[in-house]
Amino acid sequence: MKSMGSASLVRITDRNYHDLLTNEDYSLVIFLTASSSRVGCVLCAEMMPKYAQMATSYYKNLRSSTSFPVEDTQDSEEEKARFVVAYADFGECQEFFQGLEISSVPKIYYYAPGKAVHMASPTDEYRFIGDESAQNFGEWILSHSEKSDASLFKVVETPDYQSMFLTIFAILGFAVAFYRHSDKVFAFIYNKKLWRAACMILSILFCSGYMYNNIRGTEFTGKGKDGEILYFSPSQQSQYGAETQIISVVYAFLAVGVILILDTNRKLTDPKLRFIANLAASVTVYFLYAYLLSCFRVKSGGYPFKLLSFA
Amino acid sequence: MLFSVDSEGYVRVSGSLLAAFKLLLETAIFVSISFAAISSRLFSVVRFESIIHEFDPWFNFRATKYLVSHTFYQFLNWFDDKTWYPLGRVTGGTLYPGLMVTSSVIYELLHKIGLPIDVRNICVLLAPAFSSVTSLATYLLTLEISDTVGGLRHRKTAAFFSAFFMGIVPGYISRSVAGAYDNEAIAITLLMVTFYLWIKAVRHGSVFYGALTALFYFYMVSAWGGYVFITNMIPLHVFILLLMGRFSYKLYTSYCTWYVLGTLMSMQIPFVGFLPIRSNDHMSALGVFGLLQLVLLANYLKRLLTPEKFHRLMIALGALVLSVGISGLVLATKMGLIAPWTGRFYSLWDTSYAKIHIPIIASVSEHQPTPWAAFFFDQNFLIWLFPVGVFLCFQDLSDEAVFIIVYSVLASYFAGVMVRLMLTLSPVVCICAGLTIGRLFGIYTDFRESISSKARKASGEIFNSLSKILVASSLLFYLYYYVQHCTWVNSSAYSSPSVVLASRNPDGSPALIDDFREAYYWLRMNTAEDAKVMAWWDYGYQIGGMADRTTFVDNNTWNNTHIAAVGKAMAVDERKSEVIMRRLGVDYVLVIFGGVLGYSGDDINKFLWMVRISEGIWPDEVTERNYFTQGGSYKIDDTASPTMRNSLMYKMSYYRFGDLYRGGDPVDRVRQQKMSAGYAESIHLDILDEVFTSENWIVRIYKLKNKDNFGRDLIELGEQERKHLGKKTLRKKTRTKPSLDLRV
Predicted confidence band of residue B222 (pLDDT cuts 50, 70, 90): very high
Per-residue model confidence (pLDDT) at position B306: 84
Decide if pLDDT at A3 tops 80. Answer: no
The Cα B741–Cα B744 span in angstroms is 10
The Cα B136–Cα B132 span in angstroms is 6
* Of A156-160, A246-250, B656-660, minimum mean pLDDT range: A156-160
- Residue B713 C-alpha from the chain's centroid: 48
Predicted confidence band of residue A38 (pLDDT cuts 50, 70, 90): low
**Mean local confidence (pLDDT), A287-303:** 89
Q: Hey, which bits of chain A come out as E strands?
A: 10-12, 27-33, 83-89, 107-111, 124-125, 222-223, 229-230
When scoring A212, A293, A305 by the number of chain B Cβ atoms within 10 A, the one with the most, hence best to mutate, is: A212
Cβ contacts of B461 on chain A, cutoff 8 Å: 271
A289 contacts B369? CB cut-off 8 A? no
B631 contacts A258? CB cut-off 8 A? no
The Cα B66–Cα B509 span in angstroms is 40
* Of A67-81, B162-176, B285-299, B461-475, minimum mean pLDDT range: A67-81
Closest CA to B365 of A44, A238, A296, A302: A238
When scoring B241, B361, B372 by the number of chain A Cβ atoms within 10 A, the one with the most, hence best to mutate, is: B372
A82 contact partners, CB below 8 Å, separation of at least 6: A5, A6, A26, A27, A62, A148
Decide if pLDDT at B137 tops 90. Answer: yes
Pick A238 or B42 by higher pLDDT.
B42
Which of A207, A214, A274 shows the shortest C-beta gap to B375? A207
Decide if pLDDT at B163 tops 90. Answer: yes
Q: Do B482 and B378 meet the contact criterion of CB atoms below 8 Å apart?
A: no
B631 contacts A203? CB cut-off 8 A? no
Decide if pLDDT at A256 tops 80. Answer: yes
Cβ contacts of A306 on chain B, cutoff 8 Å: none
A236 contacts B373? CB cut-off 8 A? yes
List pLDDT tens digits, range B333-344.
777 665 555 545
Decide if pLDDT at A13 tops 70. Answer: yes
Q: Do B267 and B274 meet the contact criterion of CB atoms below 8 Å apart?
A: yes
- Search chain A and give the residue with CA nearest B409: A203
Per-residue model confidence (pLDDT) at position A115: 74
Phi–psi pair at B534, nearest 5 degrees? -100, 130
Decide if pLDDT at B733 tops 60. Answer: no
Cβ contacts of B386 on chain A, cutoff 8 Å: 203, 207
Per-residue model confidence (pLDDT) at position A50: 79
- Chain B contact for A194, CB < 8 A? no
Predicted confidence band of residue A71 (pLDDT cuts 50, 70, 90): very low
- B510-513 and A107-111 beta bridge pairing: unpaired
Per-residue model confidence (pLDDT) at position A18: 76
CA Rg, chain B, in Å? 31
Predicted confidence band of residue B727 (pLDDT cuts 50, 70, 90): low
* Of A123-127, B196-200, B266-270, B690-694, minimum mean pLDDT range: A123-127
Which of B387, B443, B492 shows the shortest C-beta gap to A203? B387
Mark B608-617 as b/e (b = at least 16 C-beta within 10 Å). Answer: ebbbbbbbbb
Strand partners, A28: A84, A111
**Mean local confidence (pLDDT), B270-293:** 86
- Chain B contact for A183, CB < 8 A? no
CA Rg, chain A, in Å? 29
Per-residue model confidence (pLDDT) at position A1: 43
When scoring B357, B375, B382, B384 by the number of chain A Cβ atoms within 10 A, the one with the most, hence best to mutate, is: B384
* Range ranked top by mean pLDDT from A25-34, B7-16, B84-93, B477-486: B477-486
Per-residue model confidence (pLDDT) at position A290: 92
Question: Residue A197 carries which side chain, given as an amino acid letter?
Answer: A
> Nearest C-alpha of chain B: how many angstroms from A215?
6
Mark A103-135 as b/e (b = at least 16 C-beta within 10 Å). Answer: bebbbbbbbebebbeebeebeeebeeeeebebe
CA triple B314-B320-B326, angle to 5 deg = 130
Which of B352, B462, B471 shows the shortest C-beta gap to A261? B471
Predicted confidence band of residue B358 (pLDDT cuts 50, 70, 90): very low
The Cα B574–Cα B683 span in angstroms is 12
**Mean local confidence (pLDDT), B228-239:** 92
- Search chain B and give the residue with CA nearest A251: B384
- CB proximity under 8 Å: A 83-122 to B: 101-104
Decide if pLDDT at A198 tops 90. Answer: yes
B416 contact partners, CB below 8 Å, separation of at least 6: A206, A207, A209, A210, A211, A212, B369, B370
List pLDDT tens digits, range B370-412.
899 999 999 989 999 999 999 999 987 888 999 999 999 999 9
- Chain B contact for A208, CB < 8 A? yes
- Search chain B and give the residue with CA nearest A195: B394
Per-residue model confidence (pLDDT) at position B261: 95
Cβ contacts of B484 on chain A, cutoff 8 Å: 305
Per-residue model confidence (pLDDT) at position A66: 55
B470 contacts A278? CB cut-off 8 A? yes
B471 contacts A212? CB cut-off 8 A? no
Per-residue model confidence (pLDDT) at position B104: 94
Decide if pLDDT at B421 tops 50. Answer: yes
* Of B354-368, B469-483, B677-691, minimum mean pLDDT range: B354-368
Which one-letter DSSP state was computed for residue B473?
A: H
Cβ contacts of A131 on chain B, cutoff 8 Å: 356-357
As a whole number, the mean pLDDT across chain B is 85
B391 contacts A278? CB cut-off 8 A? no
A199 contacts B405? CB cut-off 8 A? yes
Pick B739 or A170 by higher pLDDT.
A170
B705 contact partners, CB below 8 Å, separation of at least 6: B686, B687, B688, B689, B714
Which of A103, A204, A236 shows the shortest C-beta gap to B628? A103
Per-residue model confidence (pLDDT) at position A76: 53
- Chain B contact for A309, CB < 8 A? no
**Mean local confidence (pLDDT), B625-646:** 86
Alpha-carbon dihedral sign for residues B723, B727, B732, B736: positive
When scoring B376, B432, B447, B486 by the number of chain A Cβ atoms within 10 A, the one with the most, hence best to mutate, is: B376
Q: Please report, rounded to a whole number, the percentage of residues in chain B having pLDDT higher than 70.
A: 90
A214 contacts B351? CB cut-off 8 A? yes
Which of B352, B371, B470 shows the shortest C-beta gap to A212? B371
Per-residue model confidence (pLDDT) at position A98: 78
The Cα A137–Cα B183 span in angstroms is 45
Q: Do B587 and B531 meet the contact criterion of CB atoms below 8 Å apart?
A: yes
- Search chain A and give the residue with CA nearest B462: A271
Closest CA to B171 of B428, B407, B409: B428
**Mean local confidence (pLDDT), A127-132:** 66
Q: Which domains, ranges and CATH numbers included, belong to chain B?
A: 16-279+341-439 (no CATH), 513-735 (3.40.50.12610)
B466 contacts A202? CB cut-off 8 A? no
List pLDDT tens digits, range B504-544.
777 877 788 888 999 999 999 999 999 999 999 888 899 99
> Nearest C-alpha of chain B: how many angstroms from A63?
35
B415 contacts A272? CB cut-off 8 A? no
- Reduce the DSSP state of residue B478 to 3 states and report it: helix
Indicate the Cα dihedral angle B538, B540, B545, B546, nearest 10°. 80
- Search chain A and give the residue with CA nearest B483: A305
3-state SS track over B269-304:
CCCCCCHHHHEHHHHHHHHHHHHHHHHHHHHHHHHH
As a whole number, the mean pLDDT across chain A is 79
B391 contacts A196? CB cut-off 8 A? yes
Cβ contacts of A274 on chain B, cutoff 8 Å: 463-464, 467
Per-residue model confidence (pLDDT) at position B11: 75
Per-residue model confidence (pLDDT) at position B29: 94
Decide if pLDDT at B234 tops 90. Answer: yes
Predicted confidence band of residue A91 (pLDDT cuts 50, 70, 90): confident
Per-residue model confidence (pLDDT) at position A2: 44
- B688-693 and A27-33 beta bridge pairing: unpaired
Which one-letter DSSP state was computed for residue A40?
A: T
Per-residue model confidence (pLDDT) at position B712: 84
**Mean local confidence (pLDDT), A4-31:** 73
Per-residue model confidence (pLDDT) at position B675: 87
B699 contact partners, CB below 8 Å, separation of at least 6: B515, B516, B518, B519, B520, B590, B591, B592, B593, B692, B693
Closest CA to A265 of B179, B444, B458: B444
Cβ contacts of A299 on chain B, cutoff 8 Å: 373
Closest CA to B516 of B494, B544, B546, B496: B546
Question: Residue B355 carries which side chain, given as an amino acid letter?
Answer: K
Decide if pLDDT at A224 tops 90. Answer: no
Decide if pLDDT at A68 tops 70. Answer: no
Domain A2-153 = CATH 3.40.30.10: yes
